């Protein structure tokens, strides 16, 4: 009798374990089955792979230096800022951004992307860059967002404060500040740089962000973002960009320092470090005709980058899901440069 009961207990235990195993297998399979059904649920169409080496024009380019400051609208080929390609998904809905140098280059790419992600955008630029700025304003409005254009020279502290206050007033607040405007001029020797020219570069690239960020801080709440445009020149300087390169090294360091200072306040500070990017900065004296012809050829991808290829980085650094990224420098240099 005892043996019969023992056998029955063993049989019951086997059945229980067998049933538990089936249940666990069903639970384990559920995520797999759900994952398999995901494309059908989201309705996403397949996206073709794109070869980054042939995606955009490669050198040689034709000589096309323009009077300073150069215009993107007069470049051949025209840069891609994402006008026809960037598609948003509401990642910055309700946000309010100020972008310096927003008429062209990375500033323009960020402005277009921010608007298509649902943000209202104020851009700053020089009065001479009005033709490019008008195009950006039209694109922001076409995305259904508010566009504010505030031209002016960032070398004046009073204007920098006015710029921030006016942007916050017209946008109804401020929670993204992109310090992107910069001056770059090529000089073969330090002897070719006058004190006035050196001062111009330092004022534009170092003083202006200092004044703008100071003026913006009272408006920025926890969750806000400050994003600076630095460069591979900060860590791998060219011999003909003596003054520009040192300002970008300073930019990298002030971003990292400020991130530590503002971290406890919930304000994130990050930077973007481009390599050779096809922008008016190169056309208005930032590069020599010889360098322009082969611009970007020495990168592993064999071409310069386009502003549109950096737009998603500026979006990511401003978005809530990048909440643990602060004091970081994000590189985009076609395989060369640091970081």
Report the alpha-carbon distance of residue 64 to residue 213 in Å, rounded: 35
Q: What angle do CA 61, 228, 259 make, to 5 degrees?
A: 150
Catalytic residue among 219, 244, 314, 330: 244
Report the alpha-carbon distance of residue 259 to residue 255 in Å, rounded: 6
The Cβ of residue 206 has, within 10 Å, a number of other Cβ atoms equal to: 17
**Which of helix, strand or coil describes residue 250?**
helix
Q: Residue written as tokens 């089955």?
A: 33
Active site residue 114: no
Contact of 120 with 319, CB cutoff 8 Å: no
Joined tokens for residue 237: 């300087």
7 Cβ contact partners less than 8 Å away, ≥ 6 residues apart = none
Residue 324 vs residues 257, 316, 318, 320: alpha-carbon distances, Å: 16, 11, 11, 9
Question: Which amino acids are annotated catalytic?
Answer: 244
């Amino acid at each position: 009798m005892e043996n019969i009961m023992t056998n029955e207990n063993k049989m019951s235990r086997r059945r229980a374990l067998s049933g538990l195993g089936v249940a666990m297998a069903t639970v384990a399979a559920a995520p797999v089955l759900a994952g398999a059904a995901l494309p059908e649920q989201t309705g996403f169409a397949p996206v073709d792979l794109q070869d980054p080496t042939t995606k955009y024009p490669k050198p040689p380019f034709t000589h096309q230096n323009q009077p300073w400051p150069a215009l993107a609208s007069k470049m051949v080929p025209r840069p891609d800022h994402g006008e026809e390609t960037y598609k948003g998904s509401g990642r910055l809905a309700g946000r309010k951004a100020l972008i310096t140098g927003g008429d062209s280059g990375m500033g323009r790419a960020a402005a277009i992307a921010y608007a298509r992600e649902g943000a209202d955008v104020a851009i700053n630029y020089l009065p001479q860059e009005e033709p490019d700025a008008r195009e950006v304003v039209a694109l922001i409005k076409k995305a259904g967002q508010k566009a504010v254009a505030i031209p002016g020279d960032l070398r004046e502290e009073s204007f920098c404060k006015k710029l921030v206050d006016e942007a916050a007033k017209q946008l109804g607040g401020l929670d993204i500040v992109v310090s992107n405007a910069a001056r770059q001029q090529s000089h073969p020797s330090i002897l070719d740089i006058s004190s006035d020219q050196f001062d111009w570069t330092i004022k534009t690239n170092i003083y202006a962000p200092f004044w703008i960020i100071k003026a913006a801080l009272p408006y920025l709440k926890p969750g806000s973002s400050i994003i600076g445009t630095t460069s591979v020149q900060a860590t791998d300087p060219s011999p003909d960009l003596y003054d520009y390169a040192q300002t970008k090294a300073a930019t990298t360091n002030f971003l990292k320092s400020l991130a530590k200072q503002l971290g406890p306040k919930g304000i994130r500070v990050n930077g973007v470090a481009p390599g050779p990017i096809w922008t008016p900065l190169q056309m208005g004296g930032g590069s020599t005709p010889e360098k322009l012809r082969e611009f970007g050829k020495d990168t592993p991808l064999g071409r310069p980058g386009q502003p549109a290829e950096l737009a998603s980085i500026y979006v990511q650094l401003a978005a809530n899901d990048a909440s643990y990224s602060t004091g970081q420098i994000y590189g985009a240099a076609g395989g060369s440069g640091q970081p």
